[in-house]
Amino acid sequence: MKDKIRLAFIGTYPEVSEIFLEITSHMDHIHAIQVDASFEKAAALAKEMEPKLDAILSRGGTAEYIQNAVNIPVIYIPITPFDIVKAIHQLPQETRQVAIIHFHKNVFNIPEIETLYHIHIQEYLFKDYADIESSVYDAHKRGIRTVIGGAVAAQIAQKYDMQGYAVSAGYEAVARGIEEALQILQEKRKEQRRNAQLKAAFSALVEGIVIADENRRVVIYNPVAEKIFQRRYEVGSYLQEDVFDSCCQRIYELQERAEESHEIRRMGDGIYAVSHTPVKISGKFVGLVSRYEDVTKVQRLEQQIRKEIHAKGFVAKRTFSDISGGSPVLKNAVEMARLYASADSSILIEGESGTGKEFFAQSIHNSSSRRDGPFVAVNCTAIPENLLESELFGYEAGAFTGAKKEGKIGLFEMAHGGTLFLDEIGEIPEQLQASLLRVLQEREIMRVGGGRVIPIDVRIISATNRNLWKRAQEGSFRVDLFYRLNIFHLTIPPLREREGDIRILCEEFARRKGIVLSEYFYFAILPRFQLYTWPGNVRELESAMDRYILLRTIWNETGGDIDQQIDALLGGLQQTAAPASPQLPEGRDLKEMVEAVEREIARKTLEMCGGDQAAAAKRLGIGKTTLWRKLQTREGE
């Protein structure tokens, strides 16, 4: 019973009732009810039965009475011209005048029927019981003694000694009425399902939604809107001034010429982003959609997104305590970096490849007030030039071919509240430099393909292994952007200038692997490491130590070929390493041999330093005069 369609036929037509019950008896999905009543009584019964019914079938004026009393579908079973013809065909042949009394919505071709049966027909239309009675009375006065109509008309005719013939709807008309009822209910249920889905969707929104028609009457008013305005509007009610503000008024005045409006409003204890969008169909104004977005909720959502971003790995892992080395130049760089961390301005880090620029950037972030925010790092050379802009600023759905249908958040938005590290900043395309400058100036971005400005709070730390100021002077890098990036400047010293740090770093790398360095390493390999220029800096040294830790297990550390070992540790770059062990001259005493070895080392070191005697002397730990003396060739050599 629960899933069956509940149909009722209400009327005073026994033949129609029988047909209705017969047809529905073969339909398992229908629960049929028949009620004998007409006009006011039928309407009262229908109202009473309405909660237990899906639709009602009836005829004539009774159907109209019921329709005005209930809110469920009422299907009118009409009297067709064929039903009238059938009734006239049954009249005695001597009948020459007939009164046909029918509901005002019926349409019959009376002149054709008159011609067909050679009979005069007086047509009466009715809306209620009183109309029927007055029609019968008028027909009687005209001398008409035969009345064709509904059951009520036939009964009244008998009171005036007239012949009354009740016209009944046929099987086909009733079947069509039932089919129409089923179609209406099917569409109604579809509409109810759609409305329930829409209501659930609007109720689930975190923003207030108010939709009004062209007459300022409510179409949709979701629960969030109720909370914002602290009042409930029923569907169809008239919007008052609390919702219908001056912006709404202006849109209704302009109508077809109205455009979408945006504003920030303080409402109660909150601040809301309010937008009003006119609804137009074929250019005609048909209503308004108003949206109320709680700015504080948006901020909380952004914070949640940032936490999720942080959990996905956008986090700085290094701190200043992780930086190994005790050389004065390194200590000075760390001291400056700590000082810069306490401020919030942009920092430009310069240093050769492998010196640890990102290591310093992470340490600065973790020592700053932004330590709880995300640390997002991007290498500007690792992303294709045509994609770099969309990666930095994000893009809206459909911004370009291949874009994700939902759009994408950019790195600037991901770094909101934290730090964005732009490595290899000197390689950023010139056309993108202007966009980056604007972000640094305005602290806001616009996604590719979008029209909405998004405020951001990001600290920029950039890095380069090139002379960025020189590039700016040459015109390949914007000077104004250089000044924006270079508010604080930090130079990371190369490893060759960090006197004493090579040993510290080697021991640190070994400790991480859980090994203890042997005496052979300290007396054979470390001195050669200390004389090497390390063009790859700390990164290269770490790679060399990784090789040593692996290869030492197969080396003979008491009598191996040191040159071959060094070449293997430096990845085949022996030609740029420290000089090979000099050949000991024959036939000389110890003093002469020592001088020869020192002279050879001094020459090779001077060659590695490009002839710079000051640099060579510093590397060897001696004065320039001593270096000059060591380089002098003895007489006879």
Residue-wise pLDDT tens digits, 106-151: 667 788 888 888 889 898 888 888 888 999 999 999 999 999 888 8
pTM of the model: 0.49
Does one domain contain both 72 and 87?
A: no
Report the pLDDT value the prediction gives residue 400, as an integer from 0 to 100.
63
Q: In whole angstroms, what is the distance from residue 93 CA to residue 99 CA? A: 16
The confidence band for 333, taking pLDDT boundaries of 50, 70 and 90, is: very high
Give the full edge-to-edge strand order of the sheet including 261-267. Answer: 218-221, 208-213, 284-294, 270-281, 261-267
Specify whether the CB–CB gap between 32 and 8 falls below 8 A: yes
Domain count, the chain: 6
Does one domain contain both 25 and 107?
A: no
Q: Is 304 a domain residue?
A: no
CATH number of the domain enclosing 71: 3.40.50.2300
Mean pLDDT of 468-489: 91
320 versus 624: which is more confidently predicted?
A: 320
Helix/strand number for the chain, H first, E second: 26, 20
For the stretch 505-551, pLDDT in tens is 999 999 999 999 888 888 888 888 888 889 999 999 999 999 998 88
Report the pLDDT value the prediction gives residue 77, as an integer from 0 to 100.
84
Q: What does 366-398 look like in DSSP terms, one character per residue?
A: HTSTTTTS-EEEEETTTS-HHHHHHHHH-B-TT
Does one domain contain both 507 and 541?
A: yes
Does one domain contain both 446 and 572?
A: no
Q: Which of 55-64, 153-162, 195-204, 327-336 has the lowest mean pLDDT?
A: 195-204
475 versus 195: which is more confidently predicted?
A: 475
Q: Is 44 a domain residue?
A: yes
Q: In whole angstroms, what is the distance from residue 290 CA to residue 203 CA? A: 15
Residue 585 pLDDT greater than 60, yes or no: no
Q: Is 636 a domain residue?
A: no
Mean pLDDT of 183-190: 88
Report the pLDDT value the prediction gives residue 399, as an integer from 0 to 100.
65
> Cα–Cα distances in Å, from 190 out to 182, 187, 196, 629?
12, 5, 10, 102
Tell which of 185, 219, 238 closes a domain.
Answer: 185
Does one domain contain both 45 and 100?
A: no
Structure token digits, residue 174: 């009733």
Structure token digits, residue 456: 């951001």
Report the pLDDT value the prediction gives residue 579, as an integer from 0 to 100.
45
Q: Is 300 a domain residue?
A: no
**CA-based radius of gyration for the chain:** 48
Residue 83 pLDDT greater than 90, yes or no: no
Does one domain contain both 218 and 239?
A: yes
Report the pLDDT value the prediction gives residue 636, as an integer from 0 to 100.
45
Residues with Cβ within 8 Å of residue 25, at least 6 apart in sequence: 32
Specify whether the CB–CB gap between 222 and 202 falls below 8 A: yes
Residue 312 pLDDT greater than 60, yes or no: no
Does one domain contain both 349 and 476?
A: yes
Mean pLDDT of 406-411: 79
Q: Which of 17-31, 189-203, 582-596 has the lowest mean pLDDT?
A: 582-596
Residue 588 pLDDT greater than 70, yes or no: no
Range of the domain at 371: 320-493
> Cα–Cα distances in Å, from 300 out to 34, 244, 278, 294, 306?
60, 28, 30, 10, 10
Q: Is 277 a domain residue?
A: yes
Does one domain contain both 394 and 427?
A: yes
Residue 1 pLDDT greater than 70, yes or no: no
Structure token digits, residue 501: 């740090």
Q: In whole angstroms, what is the distance from residue 374 CA to residue 431 CA? A: 27
Tell which of 493, 523, 540 closes a domain.
Answer: 493
Closest CA to 325 of 528, 505, 492: 505
Does one domain contain both 374 and 485?
A: yes
Residue type (1 letter), 631: L
Q: Is 615 a domain residue?
A: yes
- Pick the most confident of 163-177, 348-362, 419-433, 437-451: 348-362
234 versus 621: which is more confidently predicted?
A: 234
Phi-psi region of 236 (alpha: psi -120 to 50; beta: other; left: phi over 0): left
Structure token digits, residue 570: 């430096």
346 versus 453: which is more confidently predicted?
A: 346
Torsion of CA 469, 470, 476, 478, to 10 degrees: 20
Specify whether the CB–CB gap between 473 and 483 falls below 8 A: no
DSSP 535: T
Does one domain contain both 350 and 433?
A: yes
DSSP 257: G
The confidence band for 421, taking pLDDT boundaries of 50, 70 and 90, is: very high
Residue 342 pLDDT greater than 60, yes or no: yes
Q: Is 301 a domain residue?
A: no
Does one domain contain both 548 and 619?
A: no
Report the pLDDT value the prediction gives residue 200, as an integer from 0 to 100.
81
Q: Which residue has the tokens 């003694």?
A: 145
Q: Which of 186-195, 305-314, 322-331 has the lowest mean pLDDT?
A: 305-314
Q: Which residue has the tokens 């994700």?
A: 404
Tell which of 431, 458, 493 closes a domain.
Answer: 493
Taking all residues of the chain, what is their mean pLDDT, rounded to a whole number?
Answer: 84
Half-sphere exposure of 626 (CA within 13 A, CB side): 10
Residue 401 pLDDT greater than 70, yes or no: no
Does one domain contain both 285 and 139?
A: no
Q: Is 626 a domain residue?
A: yes
The confidence band for 398, taking pLDDT boundaries of 50, 70 and 90, is: low
Compute how many other C-beta atoms are within 10 angstroms of the C-beta atom of residue 400.
Answer: 12
Q: In whole angstroms, what is the distance from residue 17 CA to residue 19 CA? A: 5
